[in-house]
Amino acid sequence: MKKIKVKIPAFPASDYTIEIGSDFLHTILPRIKKLFPEKQIFIITDSNIAKTKNLKLLLDKEKLPKYVITPAGEKSKNINTVVKIIELMEKQAFGRDTIVIALGGGTVGDMAGFVAAIYKRGVDVVQIPTTTVAQADSAIGGKTGVDSLVSKNAFGSFKNPSAVFIDVNTLKTLDEKQFNAGLVESIKHALIADEKYFDYLKKNLEAILARKNKPLEYIAQKNCQIKASVVEQDPFEKNKRRILNYGHTIGHAVESASNYKFLHGQSVAIGILAANLIEQKLGLGARERLEILKDIFSKLKINLKIPKSVTKKQLLDIISRDKKAVKKWPRFVLLEKTGKVLYRDGQYAQKVERKIVEDAIEILLK
């Protein structure tokens, strides 16, 4: 028997710039053309964005090929929509010289990134996030994907953007529920990495909710710095990057079990409370922090009541299928204290006894 060894070179280093500011959406398209000359531009957005001024501001008077995801939101975030987008691009003869522009929230960014990752084996993508969730988290780091019938982001790929443009003025088109729920990702970043940032969010919540540009730019900057620092150290989620999933394991389960009637941020808020309950059971404190978080979520008017139709068995079944599960059971990211993730035995995600998780879920379901 003959053997041939194939040596795969290390993944080439790459970088991209995140630009943050206010009222510059109308300048982005000319800048993209200058940054990526001779590229064919294809825009992916959704029906919510199409109703606002944001798409018109980006395009100005230009007419560019685009796909508008309809309906907007998680219900369209599936492989069937991806196929429709790719087939449209094929019909319009887009090639490897394509650059995809994602204009929208987390769903648009995830789907556009996934399309860019697999179309013709990979084309460039530029992220222009327009929601609090996307500007805080999903537009940065290159995790893309769509949902299966069973779980969230079951199909996916790592695809770093070639550039990110964050205009905080786009947040002013969001309704209160979307805006407030999206702030949970900012709270998560503070909890896992920066206690002073957590204090800032508490003290400046009123100004943030008033959507004043200065605090919105500041939190966008802090979120991007925190996430970029983690992603640079662990681009493919081998270990440290898991800390970005704080509150997401049970949060994603709630989101899926609600049939996506619960917003992502709303579900993560519940997952963060669950994590705090688990931390208490493990003797890590968190009692005072839990009350502070409940107060913050109350000020954000986030509904934390899980629907009665959702059962403990259902949630446990979903988390057993978590994409990061080992032997059908996930590892949980937990806090040692505010601003510092628990790190044991070289791991940032910890194995937690099933009974402790069940107890936390039961408390949340009451």
State the pLDDT confidence band at 12, using cuts at 50, 70 and 90.
low
166, 25: one domain: yes
337 part of the active site: no
Task: Tell whether the model's pLDDT for residue 10 goes beyond 70.
Answer: no
346, 257: one domain: yes
Domain membership of residue 31 (yes or no) is yes
CATH number of the domain where residue 299 is located: 1.20.1090.10
167, 50: one domain: yes
Looking only at Cα atoms, what is the longest distance across the chain?
71
Tens digit of pLDDT for each residue in 138-187?
999 899 999 998 888 889 999 999 999 999 999 999 999 999 999 999 99
169, 282: one domain: no
252 part of the active site: yes
267, 165: one domain: no
Domain boundary among the residues 126, 143, 174 is at 174
Domain membership of residue 76 (yes or no) is yes
* Structure confidence at residue 256 (pLDDT): 92
How many domains in the chain?
2
Instruction: Give the C-alpha distances (Å, rounded to integers) separating 92 from 33, 37, 41, 115, 317.
Output: 19, 19, 11, 15, 42
Domain boundary among the residues 127, 147, 174 is at 174
Domain membership of residue 87 (yes or no) is yes
Q: 95: domain range?
A: 18-174
Percent of the chain whose pLDDT exceeds 70: 98
State the pLDDT confidence band at 11, using cuts at 50, 70 and 90.
low
State the catalytic residue, choosing from 237, 242, 279, 289: 237
134, 58: one domain: yes
Q: How far apart are CA 52 and CA 355, in angstroms?
A: 47
* Structure confidence at residue 306 (pLDDT): 94
Domain membership of residue 38 (yes or no) is yes
Place of tokens 């995801």: 69
256, 144: one domain: no
169, 24: one domain: yes
Task: Tell whether the model's pLDDT for residue 220 goes beyond 80.
Answer: yes
Tens digit of pLDDT for each residue in 237-272?
889 999 999 999 999 999 999 998 999 999 999 999
Domain membership of residue 5 (yes or no) is no
What mean pLDDT is predicted for residues 97-126? 97
185 part of the active site: yes
Domain membership of residue 10 (yes or no) is no
Task: Tell whether the model's pLDDT for residue 212 goes beyond 90.
Answer: yes
166, 292: one domain: no
State the pLDDT confidence band at 13, using cuts at 50, 70 and 90.
low
65, 154: one domain: yes
What mean pLDDT is predicted for residues 108-117? 98
Q: How far apart are CA 225 and CA 232, in angstroms?
A: 10
Backbone angles phi, psi at 16, to 5 degrees: -150, 160
248 part of the active site: yes
143 part of the active site: yes
Q: What global pTM score does this model have?
A: 0.92
Q: How far apart are CA 352 and CA 279, in angstroms?
A: 10
State the catalytic residue, choosing from 189, 227, 242, 289: 227
State the catalytic residue, choosing from 5, 61, 63, 121: 121
* Structure confidence at residue 286 (pLDDT): 80
189 part of the active site: no
Task: Tell whether the model's pLDDT for residue 309 goes beyond 70.
Answer: yes
CA angle (282, 285, 288) in 5-degree steps: 140
264 part of the active site: yes
Domain membership of residue 209 (yes or no) is no
Q: How high is the mean pLDDT of the chain?
A: 94
CATH number of the domain where residue 138 is located: 3.40.50.1970
133, 265: one domain: no
State the pLDDT confidence band at 214, using cuts at 50, 70 and 90.
very high
Domain membership of residue 167 (yes or no) is yes
Tens digit of pLDDT for each residue in 119-142?
999 999 999 999 999 999 999 989
Domain boundary among the residues 155, 174, 193 is at 174
DSSP string for residues in 200-248: HHHHTHHHHHTT-HHHHHHHHHHHHHHHHHHHHH-TT-SSGGGGGGTTH
Residue whose C-alpha is closest to residue 337's, from 284, 258, 288? 284
What mean pLDDT is predicted for residues 13-17? 83
Position 118: which residue type? Answer: I
Tens digit of pLDDT for each residue in 316-357?
999 988 877 778 899 999 999 999 999 999 999 999 999 999
151, 41: one domain: yes
